[in-house]
Amino acid sequence: MKKIGFIGLGIMGRPMAKNLIDAGYELVVSDLNEDAVSELEEYGAASADTPKAITEQSEVIITMLPNSPHVKAVALGENGIIEGVSEGDVFIDMSSISPLMSQEVGEALLEKGVESLDAPVSGGQEGAEAGTVAFMVGGKEEVFEAHKEILEVMGGSVTLVGNLGAGQTTKLVNQVIVGINIAAVAEGLSLGKKAGVDPENIFNAIRGGLAGSQCMEDKAPRMLEGNYDPGFKMKLHVKDLTNAFETSRDLHNYMPLAAQVMEMMQKLMADGHTEVDHGGMGLFYEKLNNISLKK
């Protein structure tokens, strides 16, 4: 098995790294959170202080970071991945970032003889822990096929969608659809509650029909319980939508529904709900309609 460097042990990265260790892979890890690093060390990983040092000890380097600037700094900055790579290494970025940034980093690493895959995921913390996240991968087919097994350890679905950057584009599409879907679930349940019908009964009645979706299955119960502990934080969805709008503007593409959802999320964040789950869209409708969706 190839030795893996894993950089980024946050809410998603930590359980995904553990899944790799459980599968028998040897990991060298790094994160700004020393507690997260200690936890992985106790789980069986080694650690190093810099991305360069991680890379010098690894054949495959995986990153799971918050946004484009973080990936660029870790990959191309001082003591970054690019300073420690050897020809033949492979870089897999599982962060959700701008497609253009994926391509920029990939092109720089390719000059060092390093191939790249952009492999953002969908599935949240629960999926990361269970190893069932969906990977949307961009890159060369031969590189994908050679490293698909690593991704399958962490995900239930691993799909090559195109060249480098295509994975990030697909993730942006995913986040647009998810955001609109969550808002639709909250809006519909709010109407039912306002009309005097139990939202839980509504959920159970429609979940098996055309209105049913994975978003409804995951987020409606949270709304009914008033449980917005983060599986995927509101602020991260806003970050993803920001990347989607930047890409959309470059393409002169119109996204009015996503724009409305973004305004709702911005209002929630302004009200102090930055760290809640993105299912917290229910809170927006509760306040707007002066109701509670809790059963």
Active site residues: 171
Sequence letter at residue 179: G
N residues, the chain: 295
Is 290 in contact with 244 (CB distance < 8 Å)? Answer: no
**Phi, psi torsion values for 4, nearest 5 degrees:** -115, 130
Is 148 in contact with 122 (CB distance < 8 Å)? Answer: no
Beta bridge partners of 17: none
- For the record, the structure tokens of 241 come out as 């939508």
Is 220 in contact with 184 (CB distance < 8 Å)? Answer: no
Residue 162 region, left (φ>0) first, then alpha (ψ -120 to 50), else beta?
left
Spatial distance between the Cα atoms of 35 and 55, rounded to a whole number of angstroms: 21
- For the record, the structure tokens of 292 come out as 């509670």
- For the record, the structure tokens of 259 come out as 């724009």
Kindly tell me the burial class for residue 154, based on how many C-beta atoms sit within 10 Å of its own C-beta (0-12, 13-18, 19 or more).
buried
Is 265 in contact with 240 (CB distance < 8 Å)? Answer: no
